[in-house]
């Protein structure tokens, strides 16, 4: 293990947990799978993995992180204990190991327990599995216990990075559509929402135009270490992780295979797919509203102004921002752009460094805040399918017919399929 990895493990790694089975550093790839109260899904997933293309099984280890908090219910703890017992006795075609972050003396503290910490435990320990004596890429793949994949999932990802120099990416995905009509509509509206936002960022030229879904994430070990590893957030850990990666490397869309994340009701995280399904079914929100596409036009003009080699004064930026849209200038003022920009200029030694700091300041989170700011103060949301139709027209793509779309699930699926092709 080289010094870079040793330093990371010493400074940033969680140290309270270890693998349940003996291991040797023999691998080039690790697939990290956190699981809480997923006994049936783990059985299904492990059998499904057995059926994957086994071309890279000898150089890959699947890492299961069975976890719960100290205050988890008896039912959850019992389910996790059954899962640990199952993994203790299982025999698969592929290499695997697992981590007990669930039983007494191993469970997570109440303060930190959550999907972020679970992913971090598995990803940090995965660094110990790699054979650093060979020159092959060392990849950490993330997925979830309730997902399934196309049979070429593993080989497609590994072979993608045999050609790509990028340090991170995400696998194409589709939420499986349930038979229940209401749940199907819930999934469609949610996935349209996710993909519409990414399409808007693509149109705007944002460097943060990529999916941020935990079960699709991939990075190499160098990039993982450079950003200080996975965070411990209880939700949106995937968003912040991918955002940090985008600041140091390009993010690839890995085509040629797909992951299918479960579209189910869930209590596991405060938001995300599970909670959006809960919300749709509860009827507490209008799920058929999206950001006005004009928001992305304003963002595009700002990016074209800000993310160039030109270096203006803060006053010039604010003046030109006002010419683009009063909401843009107002947002910059409220986010203390003037002081932030002057610090960037003062602390940067070259135009290259200044342009890098531009991306750091107007990052993925601030981009999302800006779109929300416009929504809340200047450009109220419009109908979901109307928004998609207008954005498709702006980017020069044809749109499915919108007439009677709210009562026609097949037509809604055509909108979703169009977005799937583009994002």
Average pLDDT over residues 133-156: 96
Q: Is the pLDDT of residue 35 over 60?
A: yes
Instruction: Give the pLDDT score at 1.
Output: 66
Map out the domains of the chain as residue ranges.
Answer: 3-176+204-266, 294-377, 381-422
| pLDDT 10s digits, 90-128 | 999 999 999 999 999 999 999 999 999 999 999 999 999
Is CATH 2.40.30.20 what the domain over 3-176+204-266 is classified as, yes or no? no
Instruction: Give the pLDDT score at 227.
Output: 97
Share of the chain above pLDDT 90, in %: 86
Phi, psi of 235 (to 5 degrees): -155, 160
| pLDDT 10s digits, 217-272 | 999 999 999 999 999 999 899 999 999 999 999 999 999 999 999 865 554 445 55
| pLDDT 10s digits, 336-387 | 999 999 999 999 989 899 999 999 999 999 999 999 999 999 999 999 999 9
Q: Is the pLDDT of residue 273 over 80?
A: no
Higher pLDDT, 310 or 303: 303
Instruction: Give the pLDDT score at 267.
Output: 43
pTM (2 decimals)?
0.94
Average pLDDT over residues 309-316: 93
Find the largest Cα–Cα distance for the chain: 67
């Amino acid at each position: 293990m080289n010094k870079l990895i040793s330093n990371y493990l010493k400074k940033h790694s969680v140290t309270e947990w270890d693998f349940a089975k003996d291991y040797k550093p023999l691998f080039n790839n690790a697939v990290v799978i956190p699981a809480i109260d997923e006994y049936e899904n783990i059985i299904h997933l492990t059998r499904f993995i057995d059926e994957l293309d086994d071309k890279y099984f000898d150089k890959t280890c699947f890492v299961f992180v069975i976890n719960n908090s100290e205050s988890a219910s008896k039912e959850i703890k019992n389910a996790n204990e059954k899962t640990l017992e199952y993994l203790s006795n299982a025999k698969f075609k592929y290499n695997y190991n697992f981590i007990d972050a669930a039983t007494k003396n191993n469970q997570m503290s109440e303060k930190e327990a959550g999907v972020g910490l679970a992913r971090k435990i598995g990803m940090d320990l995965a660094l110990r599995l790699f054979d650093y004596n060979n020159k092959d890429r060392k990849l950490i793949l993330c997925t979830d216990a309730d997902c399934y994949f196309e049979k070429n999932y593993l080989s497609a990802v590994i072979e993608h990075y045999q050609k790509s120099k990028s340090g991170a990416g995400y696998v194409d995905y589709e939420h499986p559509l349930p038979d229940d009509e209401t749940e199907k509509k819930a999934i469609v509206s949610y996935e349209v929402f996710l993909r519409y936002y990414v399409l808007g960022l693509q149109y705007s030229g944002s460097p943060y135009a990529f999916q941020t879904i935990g079960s699709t994430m991939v990075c190499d070990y160098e990039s993982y270490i450079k950003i200080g590893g996975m965070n411990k957030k209880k939700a949106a850990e995937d968003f912040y992780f991918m955002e940090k990666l985008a600041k140091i490397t390009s993010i690839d869309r890995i085509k040629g295979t797909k992951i299918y994340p479960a579209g189910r009701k869930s209590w596991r995280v405060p938001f995300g797919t599970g909670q959006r399904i809960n919300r749709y079914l509860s009827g507490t929100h209008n799920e058929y509203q999206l950001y006005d596409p004009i928001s992305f036009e304003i963002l595009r003009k700002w990016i074209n102004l800000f993310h160039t080699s030109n270096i203006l004064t803060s006053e010039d930026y604010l003046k030109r921002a006002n010419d683009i849209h009063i909401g843009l200038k107002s947002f910059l003022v409220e986010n203390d752009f003037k002081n932030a920009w002057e610090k960037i200029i003062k602390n940067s030694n070259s135009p290259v460094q200044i342009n890098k700091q531009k991306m750091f300041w107007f990052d993925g989170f601030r981009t999302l805040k800006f779109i929300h700011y416009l929504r809340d103060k200047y450009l109220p949301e419009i109908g979901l399918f109307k928004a998609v139709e207008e954005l498709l027209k702006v980017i020069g793509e044809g749109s499915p017919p919108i007439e009677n779309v709210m009562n026609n699930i097949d037509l809604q699926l055509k909108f979703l399929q169009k977005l799937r092709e583009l994002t």
